[in-house]
Structure 1
Amino acid sequence: MRLILLGPPGAGKGTQAKILVDAYGIPQLSTGDILRSAIAAKTPLGIEAKAIVDRGDLVSDAIVNGIVSERLDADDCKPGFILDGFPRTIAQAEALDRMLLDKGAKLDAVIEIKADADELVRRVIQRAKESGGARTDDNEDVLRKRLGVYQDQTAPLVAYYSDKGLIRTVDGMAPVDEVTAAIKASIDH
């Protein structure tokens, strides 16, 4: 099972990915987690990425594509994977298509988790309080900028994958267990 989770920041992609990892026994590939690890470790990539993330901008395609391609080659990805936070742009989606073709693989579904922007701001502010501010991108100004970037750059992926017959849309405003049930129903049919 090879899946992509799409949705605006704070929509619950990470939460759903963790649940799906347990349900399907495939790894979650979160570019956000990979980049946050690099930032915490203060690697050269991490230092570069930190400045970009702190502004609420997206890390370059070249950096992200390289990270993803290497990760897809790992043994635990052979039976499948869940991409969370990648692709974010049409260019990245096209790069992923080429990567998968080169690896003899294809996507099974793209799950779009729809969510209300104002509710997302409330969720992220709450997440920041609960985590003690562990994520530097958990503040309202950065989130609103990221929501704008999502609308401009990532939302077009819905049409891209819809044209390929891969989109499955679920209501991200529902309780977590209902979102999970909707995702499973859409991919297990």
Structure 2
Amino acid sequence: MINLILLGLPGAGKGTASEKIVDKYHLTHISTGDMFREAINNETKVGLEAKSYIDKGNLVPDEVTAKLVEERLSQPDIKEGYILDGFPRTTYQAELLVDITKRLNKPLSSVIALEVDESTLVDRLSARYMCKNCGATYNRISKKPKVEGTCDRCGGHDFYQREDDKPEVVKNRLEVNEKMNAPLKDFYKERGLLTVINGEQTPEEVFKDIDAVLSKIK
């Protein structure tokens, strides 16, 4: 069983890496966003507790989020292991996760951090733009329309960039995320669980490095 956390700033390639890991190792990908939606839709006890905070516009306390994670990690579909995405975000949450994994006897096998230079991340994230007509998303670096200036989905010619994809906003977002990420990396480094991988490589090269780490666990 492989139990994994992937760390990395927005744009570092965690989503692509997760898909490749799931394909090869059949781990259950657990995203905090999906987990919240699922628990609220299913009206579980913890889901309803989380909803009571969200409905008032308040942040869900760490302890409630941790209960949701424990509820999700207890489910029978986690046979081969899990990838946690979006939790923990702080060292306090990381400590709560240690207690959860002890209780469930599903300890972390590895924590992999994808490191990418800030200027590369700004380039990647601020290259995103959308079709004004249908909302299809494109990227000037990695996902251009088949015909330049024409949307693949609706044939429209009007494109725009969202405010939060503009370089100055992206840079601020990355700084906020890095402040959260750095203590987490230290937390897992101290426990001998952290491997840092160069996320500037192609997705195939990144996965090759991840695979080298996971194959030793398997």
TM-score (ref. length: structure 2) = 0.69
What does residue 156 of structure 1 align with? Answer: 183
Q: What amino acid is the match of 2:8?
A: G
2:54 counterpart (43, 48, 52)? 48
What does residue 109 of structure 2 align with? Answer: 108
2:10 alignment partner, SS class: coil
Question: How many positions carry a matched residue from both structures?
Answer: 178
Q: What amino acid is the match of 1:109?
A: S
Over residues 27-72 of structure 1, what are the superposed CA-to-partner deviations in whole Å (9 max), with x where a residue is unaligned? 1111244457899xxx9849939x78xxxxx865244323322211
Q: Is the 8 A contact 2:114 2:197 kept in 1?
A: yes
**CA positional deviation for 1:153:** 1.8
1:106 alignment partner, SS class: coil
Q: What amino acid is the match of 2:54?
A: E
1:178 aligns with 2:208: no
Note the 1:5-84 alignment, pairs <5 A.
5-34=6-35, 45=51, 48=54, 60-84=61-85
1:100 alignment partner, SS class: helix
1:33 and 1:138 map into 2 onto residues whose CA distance is 22
Q: Is the 8 A contact 2:36 2:68 kept in 1?
A: no
- In terms of fraction of residues, the more helix-rich structure is 1
What does residue 139 of structure 1 align with? Answer: 165
Q: Is the 8 A contact 2:7 2:14 kept in 1?
A: yes
Q: Is the 8 A contact 2:53 2:60 kept in 1?
A: no
Q: Whose RCO is larger (CA < 8 A, sep 6+)?
A: 1
Q: Is the 8 A contact 2:128 2:165 kept in 1?
A: no
Q: What amino acid is the match of 1:98?
A: D
1:106 and 1:69 map into 2 onto residues whose CA distance is 12
1:149 and 1:47 map into 2 onto residues whose CA distance is 23
Q: What amino acid is the match of 1:91?
A: Y
Identity of aligned residues (%): 38
Q: What amino acid is the match of 2:30?
A: L
Report the CA distance shift for 1:28/1:59 in structure 2 as closer, same or farther (over 3 A): same
Q: Is the 8 A contact 1:171 1:179 kept in 2?
A: yes
What does residue 145 of structure 2 align with? Answer: none
2:114 alignment partner, SS class: strand
- Structure 1's unaligned 5+ residue stretches are 53-57
Q: What amino acid is the match of 1:5?
A: L
2:127 alignment partner, SS class: helix
TM-score (ref. length: structure 1) = 0.79
Report the CA distance shift for 1:103/1:126 in structure 2 as closer, same or farther (over 3 A): same
Q: CA RMSD in A?
A: 3.1
